Structure 1
């Protein structure tokens, strides 16, 4: 049930909201704004509802009554979703210039219900939305990085300009005895040109209190109250929706009779205790069903709607499924030539059946009686239900195989004589996907193991020390993939295990063991077929597996065997391959034979060989999943196809969990590093308090660099700086809130470090000003700055040049999740980290040019800060060996975008820091120029001693 939608504002009101948002900076302004807005809106809303008289437009249908103030809970009462409509073309019609169109749908939600002085008459306040028509794409449509466990590439959404929508706020009355609705109201709508209009309407509905199969639809009209020549006027809209009120079952006996007359169905599984047929069908409804017609349909009518042979629907979907007691239910069935992935088909009356049925617990079947919709040609408001001669039976197969992957199958037929009008031949149907939890008793029969043994027995891979998935985790056996043809064009897809041994993979990515015995047996010797037993007995590291491989090709993707692709109307062609074979847990090799549907007369091409080398659990650089899909047919065969190459960067569940643990560790490392920085700065402040005479000897440039280190994360968007991307891959968001919980702590500690460092800079600056008579400090500082700035600039240009040259070389296959080139900003951040690693350089130069031997820096400060800057490199060397390499989106500590990290840099930078610490120690002990050879040092000046006369 959809929650009530908020009352729509008029166009002027929405403008006021946007303009006034700038004044909501203080609480009193906010309260004042809300008060004014509520007054304005309530007055405008009230005036819009009373602009046209309810008595004038509705009193003849339902007399106006006065509410007695008793409010009724509207949830689950007088509402509907989905539905269908016609009319209102100037607002809800298709636009020839539009890039997209949405299926027509209606959403009616009661927001408030009140009893009135007339018994059986309720005052109703409701929202009514019409959606459908055109969308105009402005920008976007770029394919982004794929989620690790999403089936298809994640797409960056386009920016759309909304067209084809009416949103209405209504008020009126409903009669319980007649089921009549009459409401008036106002709202807004977007025309086909994309302009917003204020609307005034009257809505008349027929919504009986109790419905049955004959009255199971809500019908009605929506008419404009504006003048015909007004731009706000729209053509009358007639609507049709599925009732969601109390239902009376009247045809259960016919349904049970239909089930008893059906013979020849394969064994069907029973529902487990406590599981309703509704919950099972809800799992299947999103995927839909594929219709299969008998070969004799070329000469007979096979459509359940009496259509011509060329208009036979291809897909069926269930909608409005509502359950009663004792296994009874009612619903509607939509038919179309297109599959609405994850959505019910539109409730178009010319291609919809309405039915009720019951689950037969003895034969484990769903038995349904269905009726056609009639009299809708002129107006949907006149739609009625009749001709209830369609019968349907559905069951859940007990055995799956490479040729039978559907978790639900059935057929429908006509209960008429062959010569009667409306008769049609039996139609079989099956679910498009193996969706939902596996029912107890479900088994998989491996029927192609002889072919597997012949084709895969030759595949020998040398065993290594690498570890591969052991088959216990279905998540590790599932992978997204890219598919490349011989011309180099790429498509995206996914491979999902259907069964491993006797265990099944359900739609929620959870392995379902049918019984403890079968669970144990699935990893030793399965009992499905003799061929399978022979394969497994030869090597206990081999597991029998079954897969579903799916990918979508564009029509420009050159791949053989598309002689029947004309059945697909879109620009993309879905390809599904069912496969079964063996998996070697020691080598990570997955070898299978496969079958694909050719789309004509239910024929299949089973001459497919699939080889996949899974990536190891302990990956090395450049080691990823790869494989091939080949045709075993001759090149002259019309359904032969060129080989396809598979590749994937997916990671395993265990690796993801390890990465999450690493992220938690890195947050701890961040806190430790910041805390240590605070301690060392505090020790330097304490040292300066004890030795105030050395304060002017500290380098201001060094202190500025260190202050910026802590200030930048506070000035910039801290969240983006710290986490870099909130839309990282799904698997890395399983940290249980640890990331978010520590953001505040990190921010607070960073603030403390910044304040202490700024205090250090302020004390040094004040001391330097107080020592104005000593020009030597300022002169040495100026020389140090004049040398450092060109040094940093030249170093930055050199770093940029080498990075630029690296990108001119043809790129090898990118390492895991590190595909994109760095931007200039990212390169600048890395180089700034290198400058920060050498924070002691300005102090060394200041000591050198001033030939100072003042002990300006405490050993705790310069050694401790150097250790803090070196810790990330030591950790990076450890991380590279222990964790998934180059998973940049997950770096929190030792982020490659904040410094240079590699095997060489992880050695050079700590060693450089150690060298600088040694130089500072020598300078503060022997003088600033002691780092030079003796002959290059400045000569000592001797003080003249006055001569004392004799």
Structure 2
């Protein structure tokens, strides 16, 4: 069971806004009493003087901190450790919203909002067991204080608030923020450090951040043009290709690409500087700032974490937190627009191991680290990094250019994270234009892949008929993408082409359809060269059972870079790949895939095998073969599915519109026949009214969801589609009309007690309808819930089964589907009411218009007819995409598609016979009243 969701952030924002308004009016009064006791005497409050607008903006930018790190604090305030699973990290931000000069030139007055966010361990009880989970919690403080550019000291006081678990606001009064803010920051002094103190139960929080202001003081020009090394014979992309030109946006593009994670490879790096990084396997360029003239500064950290250990969930935010590891450097330098290389000089950061954020300083004697970054223009199977880099000891004698001895090489590791949307700190989608990058195939790998292909598949006969595979005729690069799950291993993965032939199809895929279709004929002996990036994961052991619940074990992540050949005539892919395993490189991996035909139906996309080419099973790099089953949709299948959704949208709107027409005809029928209102079943109209209300309530989110996003997981939420909203308008109108019918039926029965004739029998008969229908509906709901429980228990017995068609329905969704069955039999209450009235000897009138009950019956039966046609004509899709005849709103299947229309038609036929008999029975009475009876009386 998933933990409960955090509190509504909108509610929290509302409370925060109220607090800001209240705190702003009381802050000036509070500061006079608490500032003198909490801040040093050297920062004496002074009177504000008029400050021009540009100066105010400069001051606020100097003190702004968007991402920082904090440690300490009371144990009840935040959890001791960060939680990667729930993206709960310790961070803080400081945003000034007011700054001014004072009468004392050495004092600056500042007001700001400080927000600290950290993990907090919460608990909930489910099925008698207590479960712990972690959520990020934020506390905001409204502060007012003064800053001295002489002592670099900033002291601010104020109060904070947070939303507690019960929804109320918890206050933290008399909080003091003391920061050391260098003015201006420099390579030797780039950090903002300080503390946040409150009451005894608040504790002391230590703060650390990398200065972000524009007033950074770079060193002399000679230091900016330090010697910059790159490997010999390395092809480097130019500034225009890599950064989109040399305009004012180059800085943003540079930060977008370089602020990422890198894999480190050591080649005998020694000495007191690089020797400290010998155990580091990963590097993160965590912060970066640059100016229009090309000056760049950065904060870089090193760790032993494996690549991708921080990433969880579908979205991944780079630079989402300020990293604090044991080893870190600060660097400054310049981007070389001519060579397309970033050259930096770095200094080691010294910190206290016990309290990393309590102290951070830069040692002048440890500033001999040279760093360079560039964008490779040629990719290979072993090196597919968007950004490459190099670290060396700049204090040693310079070796010949291109010599990589004694250096550390770096390569970005996030190029092929296709399964996650990479977002920058502002939430923008990140991608790379790699259309100009060339790919160099490894001839040895290609020959080995060809040999395995000829050995395994050369004798396979091509299937006759209209069977075509990706690579023939009209196709796109997306037809080569596939997802898979392992049979027996319980894991899953995905594979994405890097190149097809000579065309690069990664990055932002600017080299896609047009250029790709013109080069697809680059075949050698009927085979097409391809390269792939394959990622898969599998549980390390069987799931454990704890407290009666299945507990999934950690998964082992694997990534394989592969090259090989593809036969477009047979749909066979054969590749040899490499992977990093336990610090070593394994290049004896064979990947074979047999794609399904482009016109094949069903969910299966093909089959394949991932196996080791090593014969010795005792070899530590040997692994058992993994049989995989592919699933996914070809591009034309996606187009057909979207076209089908468009058709279903039209059918849905047409059905709702016809419901409006039938409801209007019934209203007119009721007004022409006043006695019909009292004979209409209120229960039937209530069921129909709720039937139109349900999609308006449950499917409200669907109005804002793009159709294409159902098929492409990496598609970002786009603008609101008006058609999705307009689809609900006829349903809303039908709901209002049903309310009108319900009101007419209810009013028709509310006659005065002394009226002659007395109140009609329908009032009593409606109770009989409820006595019959309510137990029947409740019994059906119990049966539906029982069937749901049986399905859940059956699925729990096989926790590693991969569900291709999406997650199973919840009990609420199954009950909603059962409610659709009640709607299919909406005429049942009216049939029971008519039978009750006939038994009571009341003839009455024809209560229901034939247009209404026949038309509504057809509306309920048509989705089942369409479901039969859809199953025979359209191919099943991976994602649930049914708008009309959706299984989430009714019961569908071979049996239901026969039983429900027949049952609805039977009820309509019974109602027709009942109303015909009632009309015939009332005919003699009307004849008597019209004159025949009066003539006999006169005689």
TM-score per shorter chain, which class? 0.7 to 0.9
The Cα offsets for residues 413-453 of structure 1, whole Å up to 9 and x where unpaired, read as 1123489xxx9931112111326424454111222222222
Give the direction of change, closer, same or farther, for the CA distance of 1:754–1:497 in structure 2 (3 Å limit).
same
**2:379 aligned with 1:412:** no
Measure the CA separation in 1 of the matches of 2:235 and 2:638.
Answer: 41
Report if the CA contact (8 A) 2:565-2:575 is conserved.
yes
Report if the CA contact (8 A) 2:102-2:108 is conserved.
yes
**2:43 aligned with 1:68:** no
**Residue of structure 1 equivalent to 2:236:** 268
Which secondary structure does the structure 1 equivalent of 2:871 belong to? Answer: helix
Q: Report how many aligned residue pairs link the two structures.
A: 832
Give the direction of change, closer, same or farther, for the CA distance of 1:670–1:86 in structure 2 (3 Å limit).
closer
Following superposition, the deviation at residue 771 of structure 1 comes to 8.2
**Residue of structure 2 equivalent to 1:832:** 822
Give the direction of change, closer, same or farther, for the CA distance of 1:860–1:390 in structure 2 (3 Å limit).
same
Report if the CA contact (8 A) 2:147-2:154 is conserved.
yes
Following superposition, the deviation at residue 290 of structure 1 comes to 0.8
**2:698 aligned with 1:720:** yes
Measure the CA separation in 2 of the matches of 1:55 and 1:803.
Answer: 65
Measure the CA separation in 2 of the matches of 1:39 and 1:408.
Answer: 47
Q: How do residues 208-287 of structure 1 correspond to structure 2 at under 5 angstroms?
A: 208-209=183-184, 211-215=185-189, 217-222=190-195, 224=197, 230-234=200-204, 237=206, 239-250=208-219, 253-254=222-223, 256-259=225-228, 264-272=232-240, 274-275=244-245, 278-285=251-258, 287=260
Which secondary structure does the structure 1 equivalent of 2:382 belong to? Answer: coil
Following superposition, the deviation at residue 519 of structure 1 comes to 3.8
In structure 1, which of residues 124, 133, 147 is the aligned counterpart of residue 110 of structure 2?
124
**Residue of structure 1 equivalent to 2:625:** 643
Which secondary structure does the structure 2 equivalent of 1:50 belong to? Answer: helix
Measure the CA separation in 2 of the matches of 1:625 and 1:924.
Answer: 58
Give the direction of change, closer, same or farther, for the CA distance of 1:914–1:233 in structure 2 (3 Å limit).
closer
Following superposition, the deviation at residue 96 of structure 1 comes to 7.9
**2:431 aligned with 1:431:** no
In structure 1, which of residues 473, 478, 481 is the aligned counterpart of residue 481 of structure 2?
478
Give the direction of change, closer, same or farther, for the CA distance of 1:776–1:627 in structure 2 (3 Å limit).
same
TM-score, normalising length: structure 1: 0.74
Give the direction of change, closer, same or farther, for the CA distance of 1:410–1:140 in structure 2 (3 Å limit).
farther
**Residue of structure 2 equivalent to 1:598:** 581
Measure the CA separation in 1 of the matches of 2:775 and 2:542.
Answer: 54
Measure the CA separation in 2 of the matches of 1:760 and 1:638.
Answer: 80
**2:368 aligned with 1:389:** yes
Measure the CA separation in 2 of the matches of 1:234 and 1:795.
Answer: 60
The Cα offsets for residues 315-350 of structure 1, whole Å up to 9 and x where unpaired, read as 111132222244432212211112544545855485
Report if the CA contact (8 A) 2:153-2:179 is conserved.
yes
The root-mean-square deviation of aligned C-alpha atoms, in Å, is: 4.9
Which secondary structure does the structure 2 equivalent of 1:392 belong to? Answer: strand
The Cα offsets for residues 449-495 of structure 1, whole Å up to 9 and x where unpaired, read as 222222234334636656655585444443444345xxx44234332
Q: How do residues 152-167 of structure 1 correspond to structure 2 at under 5 angstroms?
A: 160=134, 167=140
**Residue of structure 2 equivalent to 1:187:** 159
Report if the CA contact (8 A) 1:349-1:376 is conserved.
no
Measure the CA separation in 1 of the matches of 2:908 and 2:79.
Answer: 74
In structure 1, which of residues 793, 800, 817 is the aligned counterpart of residue 806 of structure 2?
817
**Residue of structure 2 equivalent to 1:549:** 534
Q: How do residues 592-671 of structure 1 correspond to structure 2 at under 5 angstroms?
A: 592-600=575-583, 603-614=584-595, 620-634=601-615, 635-647=617-629, 649-651=631-633, 655-656=637-638, 658-671=640-653
Which secondary structure does the structure 2 equivalent of 1:214 belong to? Answer: coil
Give the direction of change, closer, same or farther, for the CA distance of 1:233–1:374 in structure 2 (3 Å limit).
closer
Measure the CA separation in 1 of the matches of 2:650 and 2:513.
Answer: 43
Following superposition, the deviation at residue 249 of structure 1 comes to 3.7
Report if the CA contact (8 A) 1:137-1:159 is conserved.
yes
Measure the CA separation in 1 of the matches of 2:67 and 2:33.
Answer: 30
Measure the CA separation in 1 of the matches of 2:78 and 2:776.
Answer: 67
Following superposition, the deviation at residue 720 of structure 1 comes to 1.3
**Residue of structure 1 equivalent to 2:450:** 453
Q: How do residues 540-939 of structure 1 correspond to structure 2 at under 5 angstroms?
A: 543-556=528-541, 572-585=555-568, 588-600=571-583, 603-614=584-595, 620-634=601-615, 635-647=617-629, 649-651=631-633, 655-656=637-638, 658-691=640-673, 698=679, 700-701=680-681, 703-714=682-693, 718-720=696-698, 731-732=709-710, 736-738=720-722, 741-742=725-726, 745-746=729-730, 748-762=732-746, 765=749, 816-817=805-806, 819-820=808-809, 825-826=815-816, 828-836=818-826, 841-842=831-832, 845=835, 855-883=846-874, 885=876, 889-922=880-913, 924-925=915-916
Give the direction of change, closer, same or farther, for the CA distance of 1:751–1:854 in structure 2 (3 Å limit).
closer
Which secondary structure does the structure 1 equivalent of 2:183 belong to? Answer: coil
**Residue of structure 2 equivalent to 1:444:** 439
The Cα offsets for residues 784-840 of structure 1, whole Å up to 9 and x where unpaired, read as 777767776787788888888888989998662364475662453243134227576
Report if the CA contact (8 A) 1:240-1:380 is conserved.
no
**Residue of structure 2 equivalent to 1:169:** 142
Which secondary structure does the structure 1 equivalent of 2:900 belong to? Answer: helix
In structure 1, which of residues 56, 59, 80 is the aligned counterpart of residue 65 of structure 2?
80
Structure 1: gaps spanning 5 or more residues? 1-13, 22-32, 142-156, 526-532, 559-569, 931-950
**Residue of structure 2 equivalent to 1:562:** none
**Residue of structure 1 equivalent to 2:276:** 307
Following superposition, the deviation at residue 399 of structure 1 comes to 2.0
Give the direction of change, closer, same or farther, for the CA distance of 1:789–1:468 in structure 2 (3 Å limit).
farther
Structure 2: gaps spanning 5 or more residues? 1-7, 312-316, 399-403, 417-430, 544-552, 711-716, 922-939
Report if the CA contact (8 A) 1:251-1:369 is conserved.
no
Report if the CA contact (8 A) 1:328-1:356 is conserved.
yes
Give the direction of change, closer, same or farther, for the CA distance of 1:928–1:798 in structure 2 (3 Å limit).
farther
Following superposition, the deviation at residue 397 of structure 1 comes to 2.3
With 322-331 and 459-468 compared, the bigger mean Cα shift is at: 459-468
Following superposition, the deviation at residue 584 of structure 1 comes to 4.8
Measure the CA separation in 2 of the matches of 1:494 and 1:774.
Answer: 70
**Residue of structure 1 equivalent to 2:349:** 373
Measure the CA separation in 1 of the matches of 2:512 and 2:21.
Answer: 62
The Cα offsets for residues 572-619 of structure 1, whole Å up to 9 and x where unpaired, read as 54311011234455655443222112343xx42222222334566666
**Residue of structure 2 equivalent to 1:153:** none
With 915-924 and 109-118 compared, the bigger mean Cα shift is at: 915-924
Measure the CA separation in 2 of the matches of 1:617 and 1:490.
Answer: 27
Which secondary structure does the structure 2 equivalent of 1:114 belong to? Answer: strand
Measure the CA separation in 1 of the matches of 2:175 and 2:379.
Answer: 57
Which secondary structure does the structure 1 equivalent of 2:892 belong to? Answer: coil
Following superposition, the deviation at residue 631 of structure 1 comes to 1.4
Measure the CA separation in 1 of the matches of 2:906 and 2:469.
Answer: 44
Measure the CA separation in 1 of the matches of 2:908 and 2:476.
Answer: 51
**2:463 aligned with 1:462:** yes
Following superposition, the deviation at residue 289 of structure 1 comes to 0.7
Report if the CA contact (8 A) 1:84-1:241 is conserved.
no
Which secondary structure does the structure 2 equivalent of 1:272 belong to? Answer: helix
**Residue of structure 2 equivalent to 1:147:** none
**Residue of structure 1 equivalent to 2:295:** 328
Report if the CA contact (8 A) 2:92-2:114 is conserved.
yes
Give the direction of change, closer, same or farther, for the CA distance of 1:185–1:265 in structure 2 (3 Å limit).
farther
Q: How do residues 487-506 of structure 1 correspond to structure 2 at under 5 angstroms?
A: 488-506=488-506
**Residue of structure 2 equivalent to 1:114:** 100
Which secondary structure does the structure 2 equivalent of 1:513 belong to? Answer: coil
